[in-house]
Chain A
């Protein structure tokens, strides 16, 4: 029996605004527990929420990136439940009128494009972080009140691979729109999976389980693959699937029961009485669209169509915003697109991998890289010399022009100079001329080596070779 997986994803993403969703305390990470809080974040009675405009702007940015309809009447609701990580006893969220509706995201799996429909995007506030120990618990309120957006897909996803592609793409959008660090390992991007299975061709939906605590995209994929198989087995063995919340156990690489949904909480949603509906300025909403950077899909398309990069290269470039941005800036000054791309993905990446660092941390700038590559193109330096210069730039952050001058790395390509140089070498190496005459090609290598030695390796190797052979032939004749 073949089954179909019906998957919907709920993604929470922390916004990197300066201050919290409804209070003025700072949004920071890794600070001493309970130092980034004020009376509002602690849910002190009497406090009132004030909406963070930047968070609204960030949410709208993502709405645009996901092709959503934007609700210009901003409304908030209360979601009521008691939990120790929820300081107010309710969460302010957008239940009835999410800021974004009806969007989509295109993903590519096995070379095929698929459109994933997105039902809603809404703004809300994060809860506090809890640490449970054997006989006590600790609460860190630094996280309480950080702005969150929640993005809910339609149940359009059909495999772990699709889910993974969707999340990767979504993560890129958060990073390109510069609204979040979107790090699943650190919890600034979180994903809950809703999964059910049904026999192929069946129209009826099965009972779904929810999977939580997934802290990487690969875990999402693994959890889905495990959970789908588990549900299939249950189905085939005639057991009913329970509606429950499960979590992914990393050590077992399995999903395990967290809680069974018997006594579902009634959240008693109702309009937040302390925030009257806010009519967003239409022009302000439109202006946010203008601030949107070119998104990965469009960049990839531009790279392939305009810059004639290969699909594979273009895809790698856009997969890391800093790489793509670096490329875009470099080609402003160096129009050899493929050459720039190859250097970035070759030399530059190799260096970064070797030293376990990132583009942001090294001293290489697009301006210097462009300059360096232009020197190769106009034969000021050889590729081999360029590699040396590159190391100096990336470590010292010096202008390649200065490095070339200081280190005497400028290539000698002037044919008259080379002619004279080579003649001098030939004059004192008669044996080599004889060897060449006798068909020993090794002699050429030796003579080139002599030229290089004399010029400190600055002689243009191609030209040296070419002129040397020409002069040798002349001398033999």
Chain B
């Protein structure tokens, strides 16, 4: 099987240089191979994909294009587990909005991808089906929480996949897996039908292997959905048509408060080289800072807000209407038994935390305070955007960790700032794109570009220009 981009595949299909059925036969051989290596799928939807590809007309650029969904997107009639025992056998009665959109465009779903349980985590090790391995080195993690989607695109088996991003759950694993990861402005893509984590921070995100494909998929799934009142009524711009490598005069702020925390010399050098490339391309690149004390608040603020919203969002999972039900003497007992059985330990810990922060007696000093600090951080960030179009940071401070070394909770300054800053994009709802920028010890590393609200195009263009120079376009790893 040859690993094509969306545009390449589209051209081959429409010009009949490639037989779609034959291509899908090869594709599923590769799927089975990669599944053994990466453990990235929860469900493989081979039968449905064959049905869909036979019906495809190839009018739309996404028609007949194979893709995967993180297992928290509702798919009617197809098991949607969110990698949780609670939803182990849950078959939805409706489609997420973006699934409807991709169906309209005749994209072909090939499977549901593994994730951290209920999207809570950054390693994909809490998935019910087990850890997802990194396509570049299967002794390492793919990252999380959208680990399955990242690994599949990184392995080359599909040109795009959808994930969700509440803290950095698309962009972090994208960096680890050497692919492009993007979440647009909050409200740009409808969240209807996506199993939530924390509504005010949740975003639908996308993995592709190049920036053009990213623009294509974003344009296809963005837009107002009346079922999601927080989705924007702003018309969706023509991102692909407006893609431009000319970034002369674009003002880029290097967020030193983050980049100063880098300890790995190779990653540091790589980051410096990226700055030079941007300058060579004619961008105006300058250093900016944010108060370190505020930056150190990102993790605690995130922990409080995300877990508080999560505990309420997941209150519907009580075993009464759907989901795994355990027997009990009373209705309350059924709920308690079902939730005790259905959720992993770390989920329960997060629910307890969330409930603690939301409790009326604590709400002012925890939940509401966290909301206020979020606001302070966003205000500080907006100051930067008064003068700059883009904020540039390293994606994180290391390559993908080894499976047994990956831990979610650490408290060093380096960890607290460098491993959590991507959450700025969730606090402020800004478009944020992670782009492969090089390799360290044969593992991919990445940088992150974050733009103004609804200025996805600027982010795409800077990424497009960089990608053009750096040469990591369409990279993947079938082995390792």
Q: Does B200 contact A (CB under 8 A)?
A: yes
Q: Does A408 contact B (CB under 8 A)?
A: no
- Other-chain residue from A46, A84, A89 in contact with B193 (beta carbon distance below 8 A): A46
Instruction: Say yes or no: B332 contacts A89, CB within 8 Å.
Output: no
- 8 Å CB interface, A76-117 against B: 78, 80, 82, 84, 87-90
> What is the minimal beta-carbon distance from B246 to any residue of chain A, in angstroms?
36
Task: Provide the A246-278 mask, 1 if CB < 8 A to any CB of B, else 0.
Answer: 000000000000000000001111100111100
Contacts of A82 in B (CB 8 A): 315, 318, 332, 335
Cα separation A298 to B227 with both chains bound (whole Å): 41
Contacts of B87 in A (CB 8 A): 45
- 8 Å CB interface, B256-314 against A: 308-309, 311-314
- Other-chain residue from A39, A46, A269, A276 in contact with B194 (beta carbon distance below 8 A): A46
Q: How many residues of A contact B (CB 8 A)?
A: 31
Cα separation A276 to B92 with both chains bound (whole Å): 27
Instruction: Say yes or no: A276 contacts B229, CB within 8 Å.
Output: yes
Cα separation A47 to B192 with both chains bound (whole Å): 6
Name the residue of chain A whose CB is nearest to the CB of B72: A46
Q: A42-B321, A80-B312, A268-B358 are in contact. Are A276 and B331 (CB under 8 A)?
A: no
Instruction: Say yes or no: A44 contacts B199, CB within 8 Å.
Output: no
Q: Does B470 contact A (CB under 8 A)?
A: no
Contacts of A42 in B (CB 8 A): 321-322
Instruction: Say yes or no: A48 contacts B359, CB within 8 Å.
Output: no
Q: Does A43 contact B (CB under 8 A)?
A: yes
Q: Does B367 contact A (CB under 8 A)?
A: yes
Cα separation A267 to B312 with both chains bound (whole Å): 11
Q: Does B46 contact A (CB under 8 A)?
A: no
Q: Does A469 contact B (CB under 8 A)?
A: no
Name the residue of chain B whose CB is nearest to the CB of A278: B229
Cα separation A274 to B192 with both chains bound (whole Å): 10
Q: Does B230 contact A (CB under 8 A)?
A: yes
Interface size class of B (residues with CB under 8 A): 35 or more
Instruction: Say yes or no: B308 contacts A270, CB within 8 Å.
Output: yes
Contacts of B318 in A (CB 8 A): 82, 84, 89
> What is the minimal beta-carbon distance from B82 to any residue of chain A, in angstroms?
8
Instruction: Say yes or no: B360 contacts A274, CB within 8 Å.
Output: no
Instruction: Say yes or no: B315 contacts A88, CB within 8 Å.
Output: yes
- 8 Å CB interface, A36-62 against B: 38-39, 42-51
- 8 Å CB interface, B166-214 against A: 191-196, 198-200
Main secondary structure of the interface of B (DSSP, over half): loop
Name the residue in B195, B321, B367 with the highest tally of chain A Cβ atoms < 10 Å from its Cβ.
Answer: B321
Instruction: Say yes or no: B358 contacts A49, CB within 8 Å.
Output: no
Q: Does A431 contact B (CB under 8 A)?
A: no
Instruction: Say yes or no: B316 contacts A44, CB within 8 Å.
Output: yes
- Other-chain residue from A78, A84, A268 in contact with B320 (beta carbon distance below 8 A): A84
Q: Does A137 contact B (CB under 8 A)?
A: yes
Contacts of A51 in B (CB 8 A): 229
Contacts of A44 in B (CB 8 A): 74, 92-94, 316, 321-322
Instruction: Say yes or no: B358 contacts A46, CB within 8 Å.
Output: no
- Other-chain residue from A43, A267, A276 in contact with B230 (beta carbon distance below 8 A): A276
Q: Does B155 contact A (CB under 8 A)?
A: no
Cα separation A466 to B251 with both chains bound (whole Å): 108
Instruction: Say yes or no: A87 contacts B321, CB within 8 Å.
Output: yes
- Other-chain residue from B96, B200, B335, B355 in contact with A46 (beta carbon distance below 8 A): B96
- 8 Å CB interface, A186-219 against B: none
Contacts of A80 in B (CB 8 A): 311-312, 315, 358
Name the residue of chain A whose CB is nearest to the CB of B228: A48
Cα separation A44 to B322 with both chains bound (whole Å): 8
- 8 Å CB interface, A297-326 against B: none
Q: A82-B335, A274-B230, A276-B230 are in contact. Are A48 and B93 (CB under 8 A)?
A: no
Name the residue in A45, A46, A50, A51 with the highest tally of chain B Cβ atoms < 10 Å from its Cβ.
Answer: A45
Q: Does B479 contact A (CB under 8 A)?
A: no
Q: Does B42 contact A (CB under 8 A)?
A: no
Task: Provide the B329-347 mask, 1 if CB < 8 A to any CB of A, else 0.
Answer: 0011001000000000000
Cα separation A5 to B92 with both chains bound (whole Å): 53
Name the residue of chain B whose CB is nearest to the CB of A22: B229
Contacts of A90 in B (CB 8 A): 312, 315
Q: Does B8 contact A (CB under 8 A)?
A: no
Q: Does B51 contact A (CB under 8 A)?
A: no
Contacts of A48 in B (CB 8 A): 191-192, 227-230
> What is the minimal beta-carbon distance from A279 to any residue of chain B, in angstroms?
13
Cα separation A273 to B426 with both chains bound (whole Å): 14
> What is the minimal beta-carbon distance from A8 to any residue of chain B, in angstroms?
22
Cα separation A80 to B357 with both chains bound (whole Å): 13
Contacts of B200 in A (CB 8 A): 273
Q: A50-B226, A268-B358 are in contact. Are A39 and B199 (CB under 8 A)?
A: no
Cα separation A48 to B317 with both chains bound (whole Å): 15
Contacts of A43 in B (CB 8 A): 316, 321
Contacts of A273 in B (CB 8 A): 198-200, 309
Q: A48-B191, A268-B358, A274-B229 are in contact. Are A39 and B94 (CB under 8 A)?
A: yes
Name the residue of chain B whose CB is nearest to the CB of A43: B316
- 8 Å CB interface, B376-434 against A: none
Instruction: Say yes or no: B191 contacts A137, CB within 8 Å.
Output: no
> What is the minimal beta-carbon distance from A78 to any residue of chain B, in angstroms?
6
Name the residue of chain B whose CB is nearest to the CB of A269: B360
Task: Provide the B128-158 mask, 1 if CB < 8 A to any CB of A, else 0.
Answer: 0000000000000000000000000000000
Q: Does B363 contact A (CB under 8 A)?
A: yes
Cα separation A42 to B193 with both chains bound (whole Å): 13
Can you name 24 A-B pairs with beta carbons within 8 Å? A39-B93, A43-B316, A44-B93, A44-B94, A46-B96, A46-B193, A48-B191, A48-B192, A50-B227, A78-B312, A80-B311, A80-B315, A82-B318, A84-B320, A84-B335, A89-B316, A139-B320, A266-B359, A266-B360, A266-B361, A270-B358, A273-B198, A274-B229, A276-B230
Given contacts A80-B358, A266-B361, 7 further A-B contacts (CB under 8 A): A47-B193, A82-B332, A90-B315, A139-B320, A268-B360, A270-B308, A270-B358
Ranked 3 nearest A-B pairs via Cβ? A89-B315, A273-B199, A268-B358
List residues of A whose CB falls within 8 A of some B CB.
38-39, 42-51, 78, 80, 82, 84, 87-90, 137, 139, 266-270, 273-276
List residues of B whose CB falls within 8 A of some A CB.
72, 74, 82, 87, 92-94, 96, 191-196, 198-200, 226-230, 308-309, 311-318, 320-322, 331-332, 335, 355, 358-361, 363, 367
